[in-house]
A and B are shown apart, each in its own frame.
Chain A
Amino acid sequence: MKKRLSFRVKSILLIALVLMGFTSLAQEGAQNTFIGGYAEGSYSQPLQKGVRYNGKADFQRMVLYLGHNFNDRLSFFSEIEVEHSKEIWLEQAFLQYKVIPQLSLKAGNLLIPMGIVNQTHEPNTFNGVFRPTVDNLIIPTTWREMGFGANGRLDCLGIDYQVYMVNSPLSYSDKGLFSANKFMRDARQKAAEAITSNFNYTARLEWNKVPNLKLGLSGYFGKTSSSLYNGLKEDQSSSKADSSVLGISMIEIDAQYKIGALSLRAQGVKSWIDNTSEYNKLTNQKVGSQNYGAYFEASVDILKLASIDTEKELNIFSRYEIYDTQSKVIANIVKDDKLTRNDLTFGLGLKLSSNAVVKADYTITNNKAKTDIPDLLNFGIGLSF
């Protein structure tokens, strides 16, 4: 018995040593190549008195991060996304070079640094089954385009900064792609053979010197691109092409604060759009000359509040959003009151670990025109790794 045990122990130790050898070899690779990802799926049921609606079951996203460090300064990062179980997109893909600890340069498919959720959209980092509506209709999350620029941290000031030049949204390609109800959502080019008549500028500052308080300020400025400029000769009039382009200025502020079991989050964004009169005439759209969106959200971790010693969290939250994708109009356009909307979302999220969450919530949407809009009952799962 003693002999057999000794042989077994020796065998296990031998296997362990061989595996450790492989492990250390693999670690050389693991130091340089990085894999991660996130995923979210949901079931959403519209509810309205006297009307029957079908629900929608969707695996919204399965995203794989793949990165590689070429050396201590040069790295690559990408997010490959399968959306709604059928579409493949590249959500980010950029080369980054660290010049000094306070300054890195990057180029490629970049996230526009606008707002909280466009940049950090892992489902375990926000409350609710779906991202806030403001981060869908005003900030067209996930908003990304080809570009280059700089980012870094000024430690003494407690400020993270990002400054990029990026290719612009496409406002015209056979038809107008900006609209009154979806603003620029359909005009994103997502680094997919993007038509570029103009480059735009975007920047963000985040102040986070005090732990648990983060204040953000973002801006986006420039003009859209249009397919009508392509092949335009010098002696040809560019007036039609000029009418198909919009000027965009967007300013956003946000704040995040956490104290004990309570987390607070607020965001406000406003856009000014130029040349809407000419654009709407050309495209038959009703794009507003201004739009806005804002939300305030509070959540409480019940398990922490009850002083239960666990890694899990049970967050009860409520979020109130106001938004209008056509808050001001000019020329002959009549403002549509149906687009002046507010959402009240409340629900809970059970974090089974810090990176995996099960969610349920209920959303009530109203508009200024007092149209009947179905409520939504949502269930979801989310994880990142």
Chain B
Amino acid sequence: MKTSLIYFILTITSLLSFAQGSLTQPQEKKCKNIIEKVFNKTGLQYNTTQDKDIQRIVSNNKTIGYYSLMNAKGKIGWFKIIIIYSSDLTIKKVYIAEYNETRGGEITNPKYLSKYEGLNAKTQKPKVDAISGATISSNSLKKAIELSNKKLIFAT
């Protein structure tokens, strides 16, 4: 009961702050390629969890990790973030699948995004600083990762 309510509140929160999105076909292909590289495996399967934003990554019938697709608020619209987790819910990679803002493009920089790697969704809160000159997008990115972590915990 408590879980249902929390899940419900998270859904409402995500509606208000982070609309759920979907990937275009090329974006999805790129996402799957990156996941294969991260886990160094091919022929992976993906199952939806009880939260449609969280996908289970399966190899030989064994869950090896998860990934989430989050939409975060930029200044002029949404941008899409992929967060890849290991099976113990540690962030293995964050990347921006789509960014249409006129400014703040540096948040797509892999070196910046790598600061989130190694963070465990269950035990740690993201503490990456906002980028100077890309405050809006980088704060929104952090909040989207926080929400993704919460969703992941309740979906698994």
A binds B: yes
- Selecting from B35-43, B59-67, B131-139, the interface stretch reads B131-139
For residue A258, which residue of chain B has the nearest CB? B132
Give the residues in chain A near B75, CB-CB below 8 Å: 36, 65, 120, 122
A263 within 8 A of B: yes
Give the residues in chain A near B21, CB-CB below 8 Å: 31
Nearest CB in chain B: distance from A241 CB, A: 35
A9-B1, A211-B131 known; A67+B102 contact, CB < 8 A: no
Nearest CB in chain B: distance from A192 CB, A: 22
Q: How many A-B residue pairs have CB under 8 A?
A: 115
For B109, give its contact among A122, A151, A209, A355 (CB under 8 Å).
Answer: A209
For residue A72, which residue of chain B has the nearest CB? B24
Which chain B residues in 95-152 approach chain A with CB under 8 Å? Answer: 98-100, 102-103, 105-106, 108-109, 111-112, 129-136, 139
Size bracket, chain A contacts: 35 or more
Size bracket, chain B contacts: 35 or more
Would you call B100 and A75 a contact (CB within 8 A)? yes
A16-B5, A125-B136 known; A208+B76 contact, CB < 8 A: no
Nearest CB in chain B: distance from A234 CB, A: 42
Which chain A residues in 90-133 approach chain B with CB under 8 Å? Answer: 96, 98, 104, 113, 116, 119-120, 122, 124-125
A153 within 8 A of B: yes
A65-B75, A155-B108 known; A116+B100 contact, CB < 8 A: no
Would you call A208 and B105 a contact (CB within 8 A)? yes
Would you call A211 and B103 a contact (CB within 8 A)? no
Cα distance A30–B16 in the bound complex, in angstroms: 9
Q: Residues of A at under 8 Å CB distance from B? A: 9, 12-13, 16, 19-20, 23, 26-27, 30-31, 34, 36, 65, 67, 69, 72, 75, 77, 96, 98, 104, 113, 116, 119-120, 122, 124-125, 151, 153, 155, 158, 160, 162, 206, 208-209, 211-214, 256-258, 263, 265, 354-355, 384
Q: Residues of B at under 8 Å CB distance from A? A: 1, 4-5, 8, 11-12, 15, 19-22, 24, 71, 73, 75-78, 98-100, 102-103, 105-106, 108-109, 111-112, 129-136, 139
A-B pairs with the 8 shortest C-beta distances? A258-B132, A208-B106, A30-B19, A214-B133, A153-B105, A77-B76, A211-B112, A354-B139
12 A-B interface contacts by CB (under 8 A): A27-B15, A34-B77, A65-B76, A104-B100, A125-B136, A151-B102, A153-B108, A206-B105, A208-B109, A209-B109, A211-B111, A212-B132
